[in-house]
C-alpha cells in the first residue's frame, strides 16, 4: 500500500529519517517540507495583499479623478462612518459603480480558478477548464433558452441559474462518461470538450437568430463576458453559492492529492475516485453556471490560473486550490482593468481580454506535450 509519505515526498526517505523519529527530531526532508509549506502560505497571502492594493489603484481609473486614498476611504466609510468621510459623489461612484465591478471580477476569477484546478485534478488533464470542456457554453445555452423562449425550470427572475446548471451539468456528465471509457486519452477529452462547446454555441447562435433586439443585446453581452452586469443585488446570490461550493471543493483536497497517484492507488487507500470525480464536477458545474448567469462567458481563466499556481507552489491541493483562486481573481481583475482603459472611453469586454491572454497559453500547453510533469 502506498503511504502518504510516498505520495507527498518524492524519492526515498533520507537515511536519517528513522533515527530522527526515534530521537524525536525532524528529518531534513520534513524540515524542507515545513519551509516549503510556509512559502506556499506566504505566496497565497501575498497575492491577497496584492489584490487589496490593486483594488485601490483600479478604482482611481476613470473619468472622475479619485485618489488612491479617497478610494480606500470611500470603501471604509461604509463600515466605519465615524472614522472615514468622503464627498457624496466620490462615495456613490466608488461604492455603486467601480467597486461592484472589481468585486465581481474577484469572485468570478476566484471561482473559475478553483473550478479549473479541481477539474484538471479529477480528469488528470492539464488542458481541462470550464471553457475548454464546454461547460461554460452549456451554461450559456441554458441562459439563452430563458432569455429567448422564456422557459425556466424553477420559475422566478433569478432561477435561470437552474437552466444554466442543468445544461452545464449535462456537459460535465458527458465528459465524466467519456473519461470512464477505456482508452479515452487526454487529447480525446479536450476534443470532446471542444465539440460540446461548438454544439451549444451553435444552438445559442440559432436562438439569437430568432431573438428580439433587446434579447440579442443581452445574449451578446453574455457571450463576450461583461463584469458591468454585476451589482450588489447579484452579489448576495453569488456569495451564497460560493459559501456552499468552495468549502465542498476544499473538503476534497486530500482526495485529490491521493488521486494524482492513480485511481488504483486511491482505491487501495480508501478513496472512491469515481464518486469524487462526479462530486467535483457537479459542484463545479453549479459554481460555473452561477458565474455565467451574472457575468457571461469568461474564457481561459480556469486554464491559466491553476498552471501559474502549480509552477510556484507544487501539486498539494491544500494550497493549490486557494492559490488558483486568488491568481484567477488577479488575472481577471487585471484583464478587466486593461480592457476598461486600453481604448477608453470604449470598454473592451472582459471575456475578449482573457481570451487574448489565454489562447497563446493554451497553444503553449498543447505544443509542449509533457503532460506527466504536471502530475508527478
Q: How many residues are listed for the chain in this entry?
A: 376
Checking if the pLDDT of 359 tops 60, the result is yes
Closest CA to 132 of 321, 322, 365: 365
Give me the percent of the chain exceeding a pLDDT of 90.
15
Checking if the pLDDT of 32 tops 80, the result is no
pLDDT at position 24, please? 54
pLDDT at position 108, please? 92
Q: What is the mean pLDDT of residues 347-360?
A: 83
Name the band, by pLDDT with cuts 50, 70 and 90, for residue 182: low
Checking if the pLDDT of 298 tops 50, the result is yes
Name the band, by pLDDT with cuts 50, 70 and 90, for residue 321: very high
| CA-to-CA dists, residue 136 to 142, 321, 342, angstroms | 10, 20, 26
What per-residue string of b and e applies to 111-141 under the rule 16 or more CB within 10 Å gives b? bbbbbbbbbbbbbbbbbbbbbbbbbbbbbbb
Q: Which residue has the higher pLDDT, 8 or 365?
A: 365
C-alpha cell at 6: 510516498
Phi and psi for 185 in degrees, rounded to 5?
Answer: -95, 170
pLDDT at position 78, please? 84
Checking if the pLDDT of 242 tops 90, the result is yes
Spatial distance between the Cα atoms of 15 and 38, rounded to a whole number of angstroms: 25
Spatial distance between the Cα atoms of 115 and 193, rounded to a whole number of angstroms: 15
Name the band, by pLDDT with cuts 50, 70 and 90, for residue 111: very high
Element (H, E) at 355: helix 350-368
Checking if the pLDDT of 67 tops 60, the result is yes
pLDDT at position 2, please? 46
pLDDT at position 246, please? 94
Q: What is the mean pLDDT of residues 55-69?
A: 84
Mention every residue, 6+ apart, whose C-beta is less than 8 A from residue 307. Answer: 126, 361, 365, 374
Checking if the pLDDT of 151 tops 80, the result is no
Name the band, by pLDDT with cuts 50, 70 and 90, for residue 16: very low
Report the phi/psi class of residue 300: left, alpha or beta, with left for phi > 0 and alpha for psi in -120 to 50. Answer: left
- Tens of pLDDT, residue by residue over 190-223, are 788 888 888 888 888 888 888 888 788 777 777 7
Spatial distance between the Cα atoms of 373 and 370, rounded to a whole number of angstroms: 6
Q: DSSP state, 167?
A: H
pLDDT at position 7, please? 46
Cis peptide before 345 (omega within 30 of 0): yes
- Tens of pLDDT, residue by residue over 82-98, are 888 888 888 888 888 88
Q: What is the mean pLDDT of residues 101-122?
A: 92
| CA-to-CA dists, residue 68 to 31, 60, 90, 116, 319, angstroms | 42, 6, 12, 33, 31
**What secondary structure does DSSP assign to 68-122, as a single string?**
HHHHHHHHHHTT-TTT----HHHHHIIIIIIHHHHHHHHHHHHHHHHHHHHHHHH
Q: What is the mean pLDDT of residues 12-24?
A: 48
- Could you tell me the domains of the chain? 101-370 (1.10.3470.10)
Amino acid at each position: 500500500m502506498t503511504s502518504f509519505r510516498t505520495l507527498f515526498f518524492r524519492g526515498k526517505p533520507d537515511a536519517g529519517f528513522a533515527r530522527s523519529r526515534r530521537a524525536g527530531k525532524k528529518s531534513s526532508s520534513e524540515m524542507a517540507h515545513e519551509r516549503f509549506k510556509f512559502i506556499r502560505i506566504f505566496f497565497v497571502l501575498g497575492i491577497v495583499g496584492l489584490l487589496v492594493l490593486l483594488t485601490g489603484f483600479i478604482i482611481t481609473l476613470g473619468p472622475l479623478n479619485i485618489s488612491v486614498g479617497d478610494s480606500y476611504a470611500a470603501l471604509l466609510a461604509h463600515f466605519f462612518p465615524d472614522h472615514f468621510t468622503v464627498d457624496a459623489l466620490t462615495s456613490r461612484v466608488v461604492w455603486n459603480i467601480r467597486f461592484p465591478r472589481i468585486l465581481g471580477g474577484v469572485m468570478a476569477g476566484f471561482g473559475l480558478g478553483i473550478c479549473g484546478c479541481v477539474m484538471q485534478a479529477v480528469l488528470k488533464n492539464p488542458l481541462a477548464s470550464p471553457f475548454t470542456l464546454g461547460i461554460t457554453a452549456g451554461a450559456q445555452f441554458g441562459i439563452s433558452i430563458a432569455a429567448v423562449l422564456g422557459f425556466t425550470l424553477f420559475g422566478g427572475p433569478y432561477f435561470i441559474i437552474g437552466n444554466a446548471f442543468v445544461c452545464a451539468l449535462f456537459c460535465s456528465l458527458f465528459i465524466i462518461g467519456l473519461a470512464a471509457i477505456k482508452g479515452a486519452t487526454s487529447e480525446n477529452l479536450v476534443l470532446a470538450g471542444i465539440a460540446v462547446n461548438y454544439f451549444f454555441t451553435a444552438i445559442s447562435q440559432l436562438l439569437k437568430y430568432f431573438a428580439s433586439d433587446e434579447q440579442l443585446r443581452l445574449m451578446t453581452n453574455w457571450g463576450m463576458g461583461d463584469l458591468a452586469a454585476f451589482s450588489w443585488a447579484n452579489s448576495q446570490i453569488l456569495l451564497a453559492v460560493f459559501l456552499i461550493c468552495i468549502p465542498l471543493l476544499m473538503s476534497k483536497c486530500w482526495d485529490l492529492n491521493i488521486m494524482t497517484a492513480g485511481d488504483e492507488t486511491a482505491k487501495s487507500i480508501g478513496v472512491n475516485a469515481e464518486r469524487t470525480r462526479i462530486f467535483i464536477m457537479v459542484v463545479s458545474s453549479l459554481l460555473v453556471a452561477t458565474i455565467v448567469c451574472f457575468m457571461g462567458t469568461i474564457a481561459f481563466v480556469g486554464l491559466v490560473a491553476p498552471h501559474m499556481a502549480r509552477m510556484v507552489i507544487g501539486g498539494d491541493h491544500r494550497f493549490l486550490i486557494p492559490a488558483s483562486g486568488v491568481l484567477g481573481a488577479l488575472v481577471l481583475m487585471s484583464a478587466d482593468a486593461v480592457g476598461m482603459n486600453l481604448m477608453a472611453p470604449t470598454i473592451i469586454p472582459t471575456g475578449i481580454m482573457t481570451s487574448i491572454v489565454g489562447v497563446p497559453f493554451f497553444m503553449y500547453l498543447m505544443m509542449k506535450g509533457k503532460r506527466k510533469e504536471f502530475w508527478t
